[in-house]
Amino acid sequence: MPIEQANLVQRYIGNEGQAPHLDSVGSKVWENRKKRVSKSVEELAERLIRIYARRKNARGFSFPSDNEWQIQFEAAFPYEETEDQLKCIEEVKRDMESSKPMDRLVCGDVGFGKTEIAMRACFKAILAGKQVAFLAPTTILAEQHFENFLERAGDFPIKVALLSRLVDRKTKNAVIKGLADGSIDMVIGTHRILQKDVRFKDLGLLVVDEEQRFGVKDKERLKEMKVGIDCLTLTATPIPRTLHMSLLKIRDMSVLQTAPLERQPIQTFVEEFSPELVARAIRNEIARGGQIFYLHNRIETLPEVEYFIRQLVPEAIVESAHGKLNGQDLESIMHRFIHGAFHVLVSTTIIENGIDIPNVNTIIIDRSDNYGISQLYQLKGRVGRSDRQAYAYLLYPDKRALSEIAMKRLQIISDFTELGSGFKIAMKDLEVRGAGNLLGREQSGNIYAVGFDLYLKLLDDAVSRLSGIQNEEEEPYLELEYSGYIPDSYISAPMIKMEIYKRIASVWTQGEIDSLHEELEERFGPLPDEALSLLSLAEMRVLCRKLSIGRLQERAGIVTVEFSKVSKISAEKILRLIRESAGTIRLSTEKPNAIRIQTKAIGLKEKSAYLKERLSLLAD
């Protein structure tokens, strides 16, 4: 692979822990697989564009502008909004006030303020005389949303109800009656809201928390409910920026990437297991009035671990939970933990990911070497949801050698302590899952078949093509005889070197080249001639894009310049260039859309300057 095409090399990102399928160079297997995925992606893009167009043409209710009560409700928010939150709130309100039904997706890390955005939208809808349905994936989450909303809206004359299996039959019947006659303004609940006996007098807004976690039947019912009403969907799964940019053309989307101002990064310790360390971590948290998650992912030995902690820290009240408990028992334990009834919850990974327990600020993960990066990141994210400093202890067995890969994993997770790092490179597995959730389960197989980056490129191309947005500038193919490279004496680390090669090969503007040049000088010192040759090559690439040159190929001192869009080039300018070249530039005899430039054996820097000077005469 020539260095000038390093931008075509992509890191394969697929299923965490599974090796990619390898194909032989020159075989047609890879091309066929790529074609199959392209076809599937095309169908997906068509479907998404069709749905988007249908919603854009539908007529909905146009909500009025904010009134005094809305301003009063928003002023009661006890924290300062982040920049992302304010932008997202503005987008949601603009959607609601338009005559088209809203269908907006809000993505953001756990605790980045999605619920507040939803609350403001709900309150706005209620003030306009419409009813609101807020759908959560579990009874505990529904109850949390219900309590939070009651606390915020308590001073206003609005009626909010809860509908889930925790609610007794008498209350349930009263809620169903109230929704039908309009005396209840808002209902918060689980998929119980979707059942046929629940009818609304005048539903205006539907909020769905983590839609991907609902079953197929529930999703079908949701589609029926969405017709003609405003819909807001919330998700904590990270959505990669490239996917976000592609989908922006066909889906209204807001991304929250800024942590709340008072939030502190989680302090992470990767340590050998020791009873003293566990006891100290638990006692420190209890001493400041907090609670602790203790993760042990084997149901069979969970009672032993619970007993071990009781013996280790006798003053701590300890309980355990796992996925094989029946639903009501599990809910009861979680409910009591949320309300501070005991100190330590020993559990498997069943702990509900979206549950917000601000008082739990220490998590101890036993045998952390057995988890994948994305799992560790999600587990770690279950603490640190308030302004208190949170701690995560990733413990591995003592006196046992860790595999290199497990050590690397633990190292990555301890390095990624900054907030919102779920959107960064170490979280690619989560992003693959996020893309699968957003685009549909069947697309996950396609993502793994060709790798994440290529899949996103194919999707972006399909969306652009079907939306009639053609990429004006095609990627030019460059093959020049030169000796440009980054010497080991300048950058020795292979990974950093490859990253720089890719960045040089994928710059789009002269401004990007200048800032990259500046950055390299700051990081590594003055550039040697070999590295400067690479930047000259990047300048050639920028000029080729500008002139719609599809190919620039050199053989034996002759450069063939092939134009991809002849209509964009002035024939008069080409003829003048040939006339004034004293025989060094000619029209190609083999290709009608190409010229041949004689360069002879000169260095790339001079060659680049010469070619740029010649070709610049063709630019306007």
Write the CB contacts of 163 (distance below 8 Å, at least 6 apart in sequence).
Answer: 142, 172, 175, 176, 187, 188, 189, 190, 192, 193, 198
* Residue 198 sits in the same domain as residue 94: yes
Gap between the Cα atoms of 276 and 400, Å rounded: 18
Q: Count how many domains the chain has.
A: 4
Q: Say whether pLDDT at 131 is over 80.
A: yes
In a domain, 317, yes or no: yes
List pLDDT tens digits, range 372-395.
766 777 677 778 877 788 999 988
pLDDT at 346: 93
List pLDDT tens digits, range 292-320.
999 998 888 999 999 999 999 999 999 99
In a domain, 471, yes or no: no
Give the pairing of strands 558-563 and 594-598.
antiparallel
Query: CATH number of the domain that 157 lies in?
Result: 3.40.50.300
Highest mean pLDDT among 454-458, 551-555, 615-619: 551-555
* Residue 410 sits in the same domain as residue 503: no
- Mean pLDDT on 395-399: 77
| Residue (of 210, 78, 109) closest to 418 by Cα position | 109
Q: Say whether pLDDT at 426 is over 50.
A: no
Instruction: State what percent of residues in the chain have pLDDT above 70.
Output: 80
- Mean pLDDT on 527-552: 83
Q: Say whether pLDDT at 266 is over 70.
A: yes
* Residue 304 sits in the same domain as residue 342: yes
Gap between the Cα atoms of 566 and 549, Å rounded: 9
Lowest mean pLDDT among 79-93, 267-281, 435-449: 435-449
Domain boundary residue among 204, 223, 256? 256
* Residue 291 sits in the same domain as residue 223: no
List pLDDT tens digits, range 468-489.
665 555 677 777 776 678 888 8
* Residue 335 sits in the same domain as residue 277: yes
pTM over 0.75: no
**C-alpha to C-alpha distances, 193 to 137, 146, 175, 522, nearest whole angstrom:** 11, 14, 10, 59
- Mean pLDDT on 256-272: 80
* Residue 242 sits in the same domain as residue 100: yes
Domain boundary residue among 256, 282, 303? 256
Structure confidence at residue 19 as a pLDDT band (50, 70, 90): low
In Å, the largest CA–CA distance within the chain is: 97
- Mean pLDDT on 126-135: 94
List pLDDT tens digits, range 321-359.
887 877 678 878 888 898 899 999 998 876 655 567 889
Write the CB contacts of 581 (distance below 8 Å, at least 6 apart in sequence).
Answer: 597, 614
* Residue 489 sits in the same domain as residue 610: yes
pLDDT at 501: 82
Structural domain including 386 reads 267-418
In a domain, 62, yes or no: no
List beta partners, residue 135. 189, 208
In a domain, 60, yes or no: no
In a domain, 426, yes or no: no
Structure confidence at residue 31 as a pLDDT band (50, 70, 90): confident
Instruction: State what percent of residues in the chain have pLDDT above 90.
Output: 24
Helix residue ranges, H only, 98-208: 114-127, 139-153, 169-181
Secondary structure string (H, E, C) spanning 577-591: HHHCCCCCEEECCCC
* Residue 518 sits in the same domain as residue 538: yes
Write the CB contacts of 485 (distance below 8 Å, at least 6 apart in sequence).
Answer: 3, 530, 531, 533, 534
